[in-house]
Structure 1
Amino acid sequence: AGGAGAAAGGDGASAAAIDEATLYDRQLRVWGHEAQRRMRDSRVLIAGVDATLAEVAKNLVLGGIPVTLQDTADVEASDVGANIMLRTGDEGSNRAAAALPRLQELNGFLALDALEAPLLELKDDEWRRFRVVVASASRLTAEQQFALDELCRAKGVALYIVYSFGFHAVFLVDLIEHTWIRADEHMRPIKDKDGADIPDSLTYPTMRDAVGASWSHLRRGGKDVKETLFVQQTLFQFEMSHGRPATSDDADEVVDLARSLSKGRGLTKDDWVDGSQLRDMVGMSGVELSAVASVMGGTLGQEVVKVITGRAKPVHNAFAFDGMSLRGSAFRLGV
């Protein structure tokens, strides 16, 4: 009986392995079994189940990366429109708990879970589970973002913080110290003349250093979307000085702050976004649109895969997307 039971268990394990190989067939062909194993053995904390982070979670789970959803807020009617993981009828339920069953449906091979405790109050045994944290700025004050970065650095955890305002979005990155293998656009390793992988590495500034850095190397022109990054940085500075996010009523003050910051950080008048555009973007602070969330979710998902697999150069250390022009650009702040 024992032998029969062992055989049955072995057949089940083999069948599961075959099904898993079929599920991930295309990506296994691209980056191989070792990279897929790293993805399966890592876990990403999705901190704040808003529209963009729901897209990130979807992409990671479909790719074979386990995630934990964390949120202290309950679902409101306004959450349902742009968030692919929330439905009418979820109102009043915790956002992480409501999204979890729908996320699990996407990949039955992964163990997913949800946390309702405050992010900065998670215990050490929880933090030891995570390789990467992707956090929504909408659930964190400026000082809490700095505190989260310091905590992630102490734990050796990579951190992405996402900012959304209507047609525009930004994410900032702190990978602390990161080493990767150079790869082509398909994430296949590039070899040297002897057939060996080519390693490279990057050092990242803290979030506090990044948001306080000079902008003198950021110049308008080309296909960059620096204006989006400038506005995000200005809104961040406003919140730091006022202890609250800016609203439409603060638009004139934000414009004055933007002009002061641009001058103090090495920009000229011609480098800066015009006041009318800035006022429009301030009015959309914290607003998410499903199309922008989808683009940012795909970009962030790809960046997390790069970090976990150690393939290809990651963003170092900011990315901005302009949904009006359909352009996105990576930037370096404080590096």
Structure 2
Amino acid sequence: MSTTAADTASAVATASANDTALDTATTSVLAPTSSSDAVDANAVTEDEAALYDRQIRLWGLEAQTRMRTSHVLVWGFTGVATEVIKNIVLSGIGTLSILDPDTVRDEDLSAGFFWRQDDVGASRVADAPVDRIRALNPLVKVQGLTDQSILQGSPEEVAAKVKQLGVDVVVACRGTKLELTTLNDALRLSSTKFYATSSFGFGGYIFSDLGASHDFITERVLPPSSSSTQPEKKRIKNRTTFVPLSHSLDMTWAGIEARKIKRLRLAPGLWTVWASWEAQQHGGGGGGELREVAERMMVERGVDPSLVFEAQGVDRQAWFQTYAASTSTRGEFAPTCAVLGGLLAQDVLNALGGREEPITNWLILDAMGSGNATLHTVGSAVSTQAGVAV
């Protein structure tokens, strides 16, 4: 995770350097690209090669080409979405669609740096914020959408609409448990990669489903051979099998020895996310109710709650009280959004470029407790095959 954290810090620093561009962006309207303006989808232009020179050196021309021909749809213009958008636009994806039917509120300004005070009351994806995003990288096509019917309908209908738009990745930053699982199942039919994410006070989560089969390349540095003084790099092709969100949420640890479950160190935040979804269905969500729901879910899945809390040095009562307090405040905590959005953006770029091991399949950020981001593989069918040299 150290490389990811470094990349995240770099992206945040880059965004700070672009503050002036955000404030002085000119107004323009996204129009369909005419045939005379279209470029070869498989060719990187000289301007792009110059702009993305560092990235091409880092992960190769093939990966950069995949990214610059990709289409990412972000559902929900939240604080985490803001960070994801900034990073993937700066990195040079092809097209970005932002889907959000709501208007800007005062509290949205806490982590939404693409909006200004004058934008309060206007559409979240109005010309002004969208133009500020375009100013980060004019080579990326950016459009704001308000019609959520794109993601509504039967699974077959949603899959057809997403496929027609040419969307490669959907990043869901809003939605109930039912909405997220239904959308994920539909995207499976169109072979569209899916992420779900949200921050909650000082923490947050990322869920990823990159499909039944996701291939990626990693590089292994080998010691210098007897005939060379330089270390050698070996490219390894790997394949990971993911499961939909609905399958992951059905995971059970019943029958597994307590000592083995303890070694998994299942994060309290993982259960809190699941419990909050359940509580939302009944209009609840207070600290006491969340604790009750979370503990019941653990027991039903064969996990002793003490292995999640006391065994990891976490006061369960204080945990849920802090969670309830942090999620009841207006707005999002910008530092949490910066870290979570940076980690997610890096994984989206890696998934598009077919580089590096992806998040498999839950990442839980706990900035108020351990201060760590932990990975959890949840789902009996999730697996990674041994790599082969390429």
With the length of structure 1 as denominator, give the TM-score of the two structures: 0.83
Q: Is the 8 A contact 2:80 2:198 kept in 1?
A: no
Question: What residue number does 2:228 align with?
Answer: none
The answer on 1:309 being equivalent to 2:367 is no
Q: Distance in 1 between matches of 2:269 and 2:220?
A: 26
Unaligned runs of 5+ in 1: 1-8, 10-15, 187-194
Q: 1:92 aligns with which of 101, 107, 121?
A: 121
Distance 1:206 1:83, change over 3 A: same
Q: Distance in 2 between matches of 1:109 and 1:103?
A: 11
Matched residue SS, 1:89: helix
Q: CA deviation at 1:221?
A: 6.5
Q: 1:60 aligns with which of 71, 88, 92?
A: 88
Unaligned runs of 5+ in 2: 1-36, 38-43, 222-232, 310-315, 381-390
Q: Distance in 2 between matches of 1:221 and 1:167?
A: 25
Q: Distance in 2 between matches of 1:225 and 1:298?
A: 23
Q: CA deviation at 1:23?
A: 1.2
Q: CA deviation at 1:145?
A: 1.1
Distance 1:275 1:132, change over 3 A: same
Q: Is the 8 A contact 2:216 2:351 kept in 1?
A: no
Q: CA deviation at 1:162?
A: 0.6
Amino acid at match of 2:145: L
Residue deviations 1:134-186 (CA, integer Å, cap 9, x gap): 0113xx12211111112211111111011221001001111122332331499
Q: Is the 8 A contact 1:55 1:84 kept in 2?
A: no
Q: CA deviation at 1:331?
A: 0.6
Distance 1:318 1:125, change over 3 A: same
Q: Distance in 2 between matches of 1:185 and 1:24?
A: 24
Question: What residue number does 1:43 align with?
Answer: 71
Q: What is the identity percentage for the equivalent residue pairs of Structure 1 and Structure 2? A: 27
Greater mean alpha carbon deviation, residues 24-33 or residues 260-269:
260-269
Q: Distance in 1 between matches of 2:379 and 2:178?
A: 19
Distance 1:307 1:78, change over 3 A: same
Q: Distance in 2 between matches of 1:56 and 1:318?
A: 17
Distance 1:86 1:17, change over 3 A: same
Q: Distance in 2 between matches of 1:197 and 1:259?
A: 44
Q: CA deviation at 1:125?
A: 4.7
Q: Distance in 2 between matches of 1:52 and 1:238?
A: 22
The answer on 1:114 being equivalent to 2:140 is no
Question: What residue number does 1:326 align with?
Answer: 371
Amino acid at match of 2:53: D
Question: What residue number does 2:32 align with?
Answer: none
Q: Is the 8 A contact 1:71 1:116 kept in 2?
A: yes
With the length of structure 2 as denominator, give the TM-score of the two structures: 0.72
The answer on 1:34 being equivalent to 2:62 is yes
Question: RMSD of aligned C-alpha atoms?
Answer: 2.6
Q: Distance in 1 between matches of 2:268 and 2:261?
A: 10
Q: 2:327 aligns with which of 260, 285, 297?
A: 285
Q: How many residues of Structure 1 are paired with residues of Structure 2 in the alignment? A: 306
